[in-house]
A and B are shown apart, each in its own frame.
Chain A
Amino acid sequence: MKWSAVPYSALRALRRNLMRTLLTALGIIIGVGAVITMVGLGQGASAEVKEQVNRLGQNVVLIFPGERQLGGVSIGGGSANTLTAEDARALREEIPEVIASSPEVRSTRVVVYGNRNWATRVYGQSHDYLQIRNWGVESGEMFTEEHVAEAALVAVVGQTIVEELFEGSDPIGETIRVRGLPLEIIGVLERKGMSLMGSVQDDIVIVPYTTAFQRISGRTHAMVINVQVFDEESMEIARVKIADLLRERHRLAPYQEDDFTIQTQEEVAQMATETSRVMTWLLASIAGISLFVGGIGIMNVMLVSVTERTREVGLRLAVGARGPDVLLQFLIEAVILCLLGGIGGIVVGLLGTEIIASIAGWPALFSAEAMIIAVTVSAAVGLFFGFYPAWKASRLDPIVALRRE
Chain B
Amino acid sequence: MGESGLVRLKAIERVYRTGRVEVRALRGVDLEVARGEFVAIMGPSGSGKSTLMNILGCLDQPTAGNYHLDGQDVARMRKGELARIRNRILGFVFQAFHLLPRTSAQENVELPLLYRDEELSWKDIHSRARAALEKVGLGERLDHTPNELSGGQKQRVAIARALVTEPRVLLADEPTGNLDSRTTLEIIDLIQGLHRQGLTILMVTHEPDIARYAQRTITLRDGLMASDVRHTPLDARQALDDWTEARQDMTPTEVVAP
Q: Which residue of B lies closest to A325 (CB)?
A: B115
Which residue of B is nearest A5, CB measured?
A: B114
Please choose the segment from B5-13, B68-76, B100-108, B183-191 that sits at the chain A interface, where 4 or more of its residues have CB less than 8 A away.
B100-108
A402 engages B98 (CB within 8 Å): yes
Instruction: Choose from B92, B102, B114, B125 the contact partner of A318 (Cβ within 8 Å).
Output: B92
- Name A1-34 residues within 8 Å CB distance of B: 1-5, 9, 12, 16
Known: A2-B118, A319-B161, A320-B112. A16 touches B102 (CB 8 A): yes
A321–B83 touching, CB < 8 Å: yes
Of A52-60, A212-220, A289-297, A309-317, the segment with at least 4 beta carbons within 8 Å of chain B is A309-317
Q: Which residues of B contact A402 (CB under 8 A)?
A: 59, 94, 98
User: Do the beta carbons of B107 and A12 come within 8 Å of each other?
Assistant: yes
CA A320 to CA B83, docked complex, whole Å: 5
Asked if A322 is at the interface of the complex by the 8 Å CB criterion, the answer is yes
Chain A binding site: helix, strand, loop or mixed by DSSP? helix
> Is the CB–CB distance between A318 and B118 below 8 Å?
no
On whether the beta carbons of A322 and B83 are closer than 8 Å, the reply is: yes
Q: How many residues of A contact B (CB 8 A)?
A: 24
Say yes or no: is A399 at the interface (Cβ < 8 Å to chain B): yes
- Quick one: which of B59, B100, B101, B116 contacts A398, CB cutoff 8 A? B59
Cβ–Cβ < 8 Å partners of B125 in chain A: 2
Query: Is A1 touching B57 in the complex (CB atoms < 8 A)?
Result: no
Q: Determine if A323 is an interface residue (Cβ-Cβ < 8 Å).
A: yes
Name the interface residues of A360-399: CB closer than 8 Å to any CB of B. 398-399
Instruction: List A contacts of B83 (CB < 8 A).
Output: 317, 320-322
Specify the chain B residue showing the minimal Cβ separation from A319: B112
Are A316 and B59 touching (Cβ within 8 A)?
no
- In the complex, how many residues of chain B place their beta carbon closer than 8 angstroms to a beta carbon of chain A? 33
Q: Select A316's contact among B80, B103, B111, beta carbons within 8 Å.
A: B111
**Taking the complex as formed, is B88 at the interface, i.e. its CB lies under 8 A from any CB of chain A?**
yes
A19 → chain B, closest Cβ, in Å? 13
Within 8 Å of chain A (Cβ to Cβ): is B84?
yes
Chain B residues, Cβ within 8 Å of A399: 54, 59-60
**Residue B154 is within 8 A (CB to CB) of chain A in the complex:** no
Chain B residues in 8 Å Cβ range of A9 = 114
Please state if B117 and A1 are interface contacts (CB–CB under 8 Å): yes
For B161, the chain A residues whose CB sits under 8 A away are 319
For B98, the chain A residues whose CB sits under 8 A away are 311-312, 314-315, 318, 402
Which of B60, B84, B102, B120 contacts A320 (CB under 8 A)? B84
* B59 engages A318 (CB within 8 Å): yes
Q: How far is the CB of B118 from chain A (nearest CB, A)?
A: 6
> In the bound complex, how far is the Cα of B118 from the Cα of A292, in angstroms?
37
- Among A1, A314, A402, max chain B CB count under 10 A is at A402
Contact B86 A320 (CB under 8 A): yes
Is B196 among interface residues, defined by CB-CB distance under 8 A? no
B87: Cβ under 8 A from any A Cβ: yes
In the assembled complex, how far is the CB of residue A75 from the closest CB belonging to chain B, in whole angstroms? 77
By beta carbon, the residue of chain B nearest A15 is B102
CB nearest neighbor in A for B118: A2
Chain A residues, CB < 8 A from B86: 317-320
What 0/1 readout, one digit per residue, does chain A (302-313) give for beta carbons within 8 Å of chain B?
000000000110
Residues of A within 8 A of B117 (CB): 1-2
Nearest Cβ on chain A to B132's Cβ, whole angstroms: 13
A11: min CB distance to chain B, Å: 12
Alpha-carbon separation in the docked complex, A171 to B150 (Å): 92
Subset of 19 A-B contacts with CB under 8 Å: A1-B114, A2-B117, A2-B118, A2-B120, A9-B114, A16-B101, A311-B96, A312-B100, A314-B98, A315-B98, A315-B100, A315-B111, A317-B59, A317-B86, A319-B165, A320-B86, A322-B83, A323-B79, A402-B94
**Which residues does B use to contact A, with CB under 8 Å?**
54, 57, 59-60, 79-80, 83-84, 86-88, 92, 94, 96, 98, 100-103, 107, 111-118, 120, 122, 125, 161, 165
Interface contacts beyond A3-B118, A399-B59, A402-B94: sample of 13 additional A-B pairs, CB < 8 Å, sorted by A: A2-B113, A12-B103, A12-B107, A311-B96, A314-B98, A315-B111, A317-B59, A318-B59, A319-B111, A319-B115, A320-B115, A325-B115, A402-B98
